[in-house]
Amino acid sequence: MTKQLRVTNNPDRMKKKSAQSSKPARKQQATKQEKRAERRPKRDDAPTRTSPPRSTRPIGARSSSKAKPTQDAVAGRNPVVEALRAGVPALELIIASRAEMDERMMEAIRLAKNANLAIKEVARGVLDIITGTTNHQGIGLVIKEYQYTNFDDLLNKSKNPALIIGMDGVTDPHNLGAIVRSASAFGADGVVIPERRNASMTGSAWKSSAGAAARMPISQVTNLVRSIEDAKKAGLFVVGLDADGQESLPNFSLAKDSVYVIVGSEGKGLSRLVREKCDLILSIPMSSEMESLNASVATAIVMHWIASERESKK
């Protein structure tokens, strides 16, 4: 008995024994926690997200009403119908799922069928991305890439006297389309646009041209100054349009000659290099205090004047 009491009352022996007796309890507790963890749904078992997180939402998603479109497209019910009526070369008509069908939608579908265009139904979010906007009204028309004319070919096929219209910084596609339309109406041989800092023949420009872009040769050049030099070698006079021109339109002396008329942007006008390369800077007299005319209006006035002068020569 005495020996048993000495062993029992030894503090070190008691701590060791207590530690040994607590191990199974902790192990049993850990086992229960592991079992509970196994019964919980794992992260991999959670439902898969069907839409991207906000920080990685693709361009054109519904979080933004305006973004860069992934394809050249006309969006909106009236614009699509007008583009189809004008014969804008298109690839396909795209309609959002469960879009409301009204007269304009039905007409767009009818015109697309008559033009043998593919008609696709897509999710609204997909249409957002293609058109670059959420304000497409459930419809979009994907436009074909425009086939530009080589500038040398444009020069070689021009009449005598030639009339070629160039643009220097006209960034509004509606102005581009309107100029193309006027060029066709007044017998111009072609239109020239630079690749950079200028509107190109997108769906909006096609629509504004009212179909004239299908008949009018349009050349897109990498360097507008170089095109001026080539035009001079071909015998054309280069005329720039500017409010501060040294010659007024009623006194325009080169109307009956072959001319390459270049219009600048409404805000900045002609760029310095282009202005320096021009043989003549022409202005349009105005009675009001308005600083300048719209680029397409100014170009149309000059083309009409040239056409009238040439007609009087016959």
Give the pLDDT of residue 69. 53
The tens digit of pLDDT for each residue in 218-272 reads: 999 999 999 999 999 999 999 999 877 888 898 898 989 999 999 988 778 899 9
Mean pLDDT over residues 172-186, rounded? Answer: 93
What are the residues whose beta carbons fall under 8 Å from the beta carbon of 283, sequence distance 6 or more? Answer: 241, 242, 243, 244, 245, 246, 247, 248, 249
Model confidence at 193, in pLDDT bands (50, 70, 90)?
A: very high
Q: Is the pLDDT of residue 48 over 50?
A: no
Mean pLDDT over residues 92-118, rounded? Answer: 92
Q: What percent of the chain has pLDDT over 70?
A: 75
Give the pLDDT of residue 39. 57
CB 163 within 8 A of CB 188: yes
Mean pLDDT over residues 19-26, rounded? Answer: 49
Instruction: Give the whole-angstrom CA distance, residue 169 versus residue 192.
Output: 12
Give the pLDDT of residue 236. 96
Whether the predicted model's global pTM rises above the 0.75 cut: no
Give the pLDDT of residue 32. 59
Give the pLDDT of residue 241. 92
Mean pLDDT over residues 174-183, rounded? Answer: 93
Give the pLDDT of residue 38. 59
Domain boundaries, the chain: 57-143, 151-313
Instruction: Give the whole-angstrom CA distance, residue 141 versus residue 93.
Output: 5
* CA dihedral for 128, 133, 135, 138, sign (positive or negative): negative
Q: What percent of the chain has pLDDT over 90?
A: 44
| Average pLDDT over the chain, rounded to an integer | 80
Model confidence at 43, in pLDDT bands (50, 70, 90)?
A: very low
Give the pLDDT of residue 30. 53
Q: Give 153 or 72, the one with higher predicted confidence.
A: 153
Give the pLDDT of residue 212. 82
Q: Is the pLDDT of residue 284 over 60?
A: yes
Instruction: Give the whole-angstrom CA distance, residue 3 versus residue 242.
Output: 120
- CATH superfamily for 57-143 is Ribosomal protein L30/S12 (3.30.1330.30)
53, two tokens: 């997180």
126, two tokens: 């997909």
Give the pLDDT of residue 89. 84
What are the residues whose beta carbons fall under 8 Å from the beta carbon of 237, sequence distance 6 or more? Answer: 254, 257, 258, 259, 260, 279, 280
Q: Which CATH architecture fits 151-313? A: 3-Layer(aba) Sandwich (3.40)
Q: Is the pLDDT of residue 156 over 90?
A: yes
Q: Give 11 or 223, the one with higher predicted confidence.
A: 223
Give the pLDDT of residue 35. 58
Rounded to 5°, the CA angle 89-92-97 comes to 145
Instruction: Give the whole-angstrom CA distance, residue 166 versus residue 280.
Output: 14
The tens digit of pLDDT for each residue in 303-313 reads: 999 999 988 86
Instruction: Give the whole-angstrom CA distance, residue 150 versus residue 130.
Output: 30
Give the pLDDT of residue 75. 86
Q: Is the pLDDT of residue 53 over 50?
A: no
Q: Give 139 or 17, the one with higher predicted confidence.
A: 139
Mean pLDDT over residues 96-119, rounded? Answer: 92
Q: Give 299 or 214, the one with higher predicted confidence.
A: 299
Instruction: Give the whole-angstrom CA distance, residue 102 versus residue 80.
Output: 14
